[in-house]
Chains A and B, each alone.
Chain A
């Protein structure tokens, strides 16, 4: 049963601390997305990678957020330092994209982050 795996599922941290969220995309997928979901803003794209290369991170606050793909089986999203306004559910999604085709994004179950 192929699925996107995100860890941790829940994280409570104090303001100013570093937070690292991890994502294991579905094996064979070449595209990874990071989305943030809040009640006020809904689902917002933070960053996305294709073949491990970052294609778009314009939705991410650059001063505190960073996203990487150390290898094809791991994507990370880091927040340093964290702030209360970062409290949200962070979703990772993966898919398979070829030139001229659509990408169906499969979402993980999310990491619920609470910054106090």
Chain B
């Protein structure tokens, strides 16, 4: 059962453009939504995270938009740079049962062209 669906699978953006990656979840018990960035040969690293009590969170060039009613959240990378080229994963977890392990989306490979 794929609880977190991520799209697109791959994305090519020109330098300075906006990269947008979308995720949708099924389980309404999820209450923590992080985004991870992974470079080849490295482990995923936390980029930014949001809880459902806010609709948007911004950190530098990275913004999460969250739509609780639609059960969707997205990552926007403003002024995309070649150094942003990596694979991005959305994830979700729930705290009500004490089970805090992350369920990951399938990943988006982002390529920012100079």
Hey, which bits of chain A sit against chain B, CB under 8 A? 4, 31, 33, 42-45, 48, 55-56, 91, 93, 97, 99-110
Q: Is the CB of B101 within 8 A of A45?
A: yes
Q: Is the CB of B100 within 8 A of A45?
A: no
Query: What's the least CB distance linking B95 to chain A, in Å?
Result: 7
Residues of B within 8 A of A33 (CB): 101-102
Query: What's the least CB distance linking B70 to chain A, in Å?
Result: 22
Interface contacts beyond A42-B89, A48-B101: sample of 18 additional A-B pairs, CB < 8 Å, sorted by A: A43-B107, A55-B98, A56-B99, A91-B43, A102-B32, A102-B51, A102-B93, A102-B95, A102-B100, A103-B93, A104-B34, A104-B46, A105-B102, A106-B45, A106-B46, A107-B36, A107-B43, A108-B43
By size class, the interface of chain B is: 20 to 34
Known: A102-B93, A103-B93. A97 touches B100 (CB 8 A): yes
28 A-B pairs with CB atoms under 8 Å apart are A31-B100, A33-B102, A42-B89, A42-B105, A42-B107, A43-B89, A44-B104, A45-B102, A48-B101, A55-B98, A55-B99, A56-B101, A91-B43, A91-B44, A93-B43, A97-B100, A102-B49, A102-B100, A103-B100, A104-B34, A105-B102, A106-B45, A106-B46, A107-B36, A107-B44, A108-B43, A109-B41, A109-B43
Interface centre among A42, A100, A104, A109 (most CB of B within 10 A): A42
A33→B43 CA distance, assembly (Å): 13
